[in-house]
């Protein structure tokens, strides 16, 4: 499927319809801004009356006569429910499909599935061996992946024996400690790997619910309990002298809570304000680091019913990794309490659904230390912003672009900038949160940013289509979530191949796109694994391929699923190296 003028026109009409729909009061029962401030918390948004979407009309979406799927135009947050439609498979698909790829190895089971829904990855090299970190908070694994076909587990960390309670210590973790989303880079000053770990508010919580009356707008007791939870909001810095946790040396514990007297001497056993550092910090081992964070509780401009913070960005001086220094903080108008006039300008205001604010740090095509000037920000319902970061102590807005509303689901999460230096193109995407395609489709937008002052949408990557052998015509029928996640991270070892983008696509597996000709992108290879494995919990059957991590220096793609890990090769990546890498990974390449 190609992106055509007809598709562009349809997208424009759909966006207008969605924007209009966002301004229609929902069916949640709250009657206005006063209802939103029940309980008196000043940092729960109340700029607009309740406009929460009601359930989508079942007759307005579903399979079409030509075998395609029509997505609903507007839906509420509803991650937990089933949404069957005529033509949906009766059961989850246990077959796999492959094109222009080869499975070099497969590893299944709990040792290779720290979390069913999402994990982070990093690579380090010690003594001629390559190790892969895979982790999500208290569940962590370290693998020796030197021989791709004989991967060994060398460390397993868990809190299963204390029911996952992060406030309790056990043999693997101290109280309030866990493995946050990390960047690992070689630091010349220390002549060692340094890992920066994000510590943030937990997103899967019991204090609040997606639905009234237990959401943040109607549950002041839940909001209070969430604000009172202890834990570090910020990041930790470690020196790594080996791949295992015993080899980590803590260099710094840094709070991003702006109310702390000294960010390097906060108490993680007490409650801290703000979101903490969110997802993977951007740092290449040199002087400057950029993180996504809400520094205090006034960064509140987000509609999402269980999230209290709207993250902007900070820059830090990492000249001495043991003593990071804050340089600057940036946010968009409307993100903070009291900026109601700006907040009301966003058509999502009052929809009680949209994630608004950063989820990932800034995306830089080139590090500042190597002459990089521009950074791109994906900010959910706030769209795309281009920043000038050439002076990290003075972050400046260059331009802003609103993207078509796509509610619910995550509207803006990832920007792939790997092609920017060659083509001026960036690839902007959100990701689905519901199953059975019960939300608008999440396009991967092609944005021409050659002139950073005037970024513009010029297309979208083609939608994956199942092979004829599948017996269904659209991946929505396969059950589970369907849509793009991310193209890995800038931390992937080696230099990203020109013209190649690989996305984890949930129930469509991993999809590799050929974007060498931006005017004619196409899917060049894919691997769609079975929907679940022998040990997958039934509630996770729909969360299938949620990540891809490419070793560009060995031409191996690691695909992360709800039942294990696959090692893949492909002619679109180049000849694979299944043995020890020719040289160790040290720093991200651009």
The per-residue pLDDT of the chain, averaged, comes to 93
Q: How far, CA to CA in Å, does 55 sit from each of 83, 196, 381, 416? A: 11, 42, 20, 33
The dihedral region occupied by 509, where left means phi > 0, alpha psi between -120 and 50, and beta the remainder, is left
Residue ranges of E strands in 318-395: 325-330, 374-378, 384-388
State the average pLDDT over residues 54-70. Answer: 97
**pLDDT, tens digit (0-9, with 9 covering 90-100), for 501-546:** 999 999 999 999 999 999 999 999 999 999 999 999 999 999 999 9
- Quick one: pLDDT at residue 80? 84
DSSP 422: H
Beta-bridge partner residues of 566: 106, 559
Q: Kindly tell me if the per-residue pLDDT of 16 is higher than 90.
A: no
- Quick one: pLDDT at residue 39? 53
- Quick one: pLDDT at residue 79? 87
Note the Cα 172 to chain centre separation in Å. 26
Q: Kindly tell me if the per-residue pLDDT of 7 is higher than 80.
A: no
Q: Kindly tell me if the per-residue pLDDT of 21 is higher than 90.
A: no
Angstrom distance (rounded) from CA 73 to CA 6: 18
State the average pLDDT over residues 13-21. Answer: 39
Cβ 109 vs Cβ 533: under 8 Å: yes
**pLDDT, tens digit (0-9, with 9 covering 90-100), for 192-244:** 999 999 999 888 899 999 999 999 999 999 999 999 999 999 999 999 999 99
- Quick one: pLDDT at residue 267? 94
Backbone angles phi, psi at 112, to 5 degrees: -110, 15
**pLDDT, tens digit (0-9, with 9 covering 90-100), for 80-115:** 888 999 999 999 999 999 999 999 999 999 999 999
**Which residues touch 384 (CB under 8 Å, ≥6 apart)?**
376, 377, 378, 400, 401, 403, 412, 415, 428, 447, 455
**pLDDT, tens digit (0-9, with 9 covering 90-100), for 562-588:** 999 999 999 999 999 999 999 999 999
Cβ 429 vs Cβ 445: under 8 Å: yes
Q: Kindly tell me if the per-residue pLDDT of 8 is higher than 70.
A: no
Backbone angles phi, psi at 123, to 5 degrees: -120, 140
Q: Kindly tell me if the per-residue pLDDT of 15 is higher than 60.
A: no
Angstrom distance (rounded) from CA 508 to CA 478: 9
**pLDDT, tens digit (0-9, with 9 covering 90-100), for 128-173:** 999 999 999 999 999 999 999 999 999 999 999 999 999 999 999 9
State the average pLDDT over residues 304-318. Answer: 98
Helices (H), 23-107: 33-36
Q: How far, CA to CA in Å, does 8 sit from each of 235, 337, 358, 445, 454? A: 42, 36, 27, 11, 19
**pLDDT, tens digit (0-9, with 9 covering 90-100), for 289-309:** 999 999 999 999 999 999 999
Higher pLDDT, 5 or 185: 185
Backbone angles phi, psi at 315, to 5 degrees: -115, 140
Q: Kindly tell me if the per-residue pLDDT of 29 is higher than 60.
A: no
């Amino acid at each position: 499927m190609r992106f055509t003028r007809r598709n562009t026109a349809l997208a424009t009409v759909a966006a207008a319809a969605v924007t209009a729909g966002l301004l229609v009061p929902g069916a949640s029962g709250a009657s206005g801004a006063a209802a939103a401030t029940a309980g008196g918390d000043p940092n729960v948004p109340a700029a607009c009356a309740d406009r929460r979407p009601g359930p989508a009309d079942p007759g307005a979406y579903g399979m079409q006569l030509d075998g395609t799927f029509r997505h609903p135009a507007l839906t509420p947050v509803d991650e937990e429910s089933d949404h069957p439609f005529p033509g949906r498979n009766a059961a989850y698909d246990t077959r796999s499909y492959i094109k222009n790829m080869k499975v070099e190895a497969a590893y299944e089971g709990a040792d290779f599935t720290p979390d069913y829904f999402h994990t982070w990855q990093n690579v380090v090299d010690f003594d001629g061996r390559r190790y892969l970190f895979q982790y999500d908070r208290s569940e962590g694994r370290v693998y020796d992946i030197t021989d791709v076909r004989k991967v060994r587990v060398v460390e397993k960390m868990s809190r299963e024996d204390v029911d996952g309670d992060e406030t309790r210590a056990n043999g693997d973790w101290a109280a309030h400690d866990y493995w946050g989303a990390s960047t690992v880079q070689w630091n010349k000053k220390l002549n060692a790997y340094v890992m920066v770990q994000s510590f943030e508010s937990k997103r899967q919580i019991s204090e609040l619910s997606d639905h009234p009356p237990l959401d943040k707008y109607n549950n002041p007791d839940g909001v209070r309990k969430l604000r009172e939870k202890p834990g570090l909001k910020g990041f930790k810095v470690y020196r790594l002298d080996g791949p295992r946790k015993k080899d980590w040396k803590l260099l710094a514990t840094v709070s991003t809570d702006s109310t702390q007297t000294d960010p390097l001497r906060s108490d993680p056993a007490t409650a801290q304000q703000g979101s903490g550092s969110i997802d993977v910090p951007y740092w290449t081992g040199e002087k400057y680091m950029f993180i996504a964070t809400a520094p205090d509780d006034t960064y509140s401009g987000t509609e999402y019913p269980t999230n209290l913070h709207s993250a902007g960005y900070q820059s830090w001086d990492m000249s001495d990794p043991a003593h990071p220094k804050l340089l600057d903080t940036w946010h968009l108008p409307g993100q903070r309490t009291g900026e109601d006039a700006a907040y009301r300008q966003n058509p999502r205001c009052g929809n009680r659904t949209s994630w608004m604010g950063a989820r990932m740090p800034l995306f830089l095509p080139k590090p500042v230390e190597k002459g990089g000037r521009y950074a791109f920000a994906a900010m959910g319902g706030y769209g795309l912003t281009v920043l000038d970061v050439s002076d990290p102590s003075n972050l400046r807005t260059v331009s802003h672009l609103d993207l078509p509303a796509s509610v619910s689901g995550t509207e803006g999460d990832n920007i792939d900038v790997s092609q920017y230096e060659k083509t001026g193109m960036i690839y902007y995407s959100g990701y689905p949160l519901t199953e059975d395609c019960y939300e608008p489709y999440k396009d991967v937008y092609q944005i021409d940013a050659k002139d950073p002052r005037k970024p513009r949408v010029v297309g979208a990557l083609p939608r994956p289509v199942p092979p004829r052998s599948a017996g269904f015509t659209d991946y929505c029928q396969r059950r589970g979530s369907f849509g793009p996640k991310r193209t890995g991270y800038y931390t992937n070892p080696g230099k990203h191949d020109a013209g190649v983008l690989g996305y984890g696509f949930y129930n469509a597996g991993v999809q590799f796109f050929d974007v060498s000709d931006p005017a004619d992108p196409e899917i060049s290879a894919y691997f769609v694994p079975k929907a679940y494995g022998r040990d997958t919990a039934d509630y996770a059957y729909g969360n299938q391929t949620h990540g891809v991590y490419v070793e560009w220096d060995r031409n191996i793609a690691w695909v992360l699923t709800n039942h294990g890990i696959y090692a893949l090769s492909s002619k679109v990546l180049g000849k694979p190296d299944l043995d020890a890498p020719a040289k160790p990974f040290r720093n991200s390449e651009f």
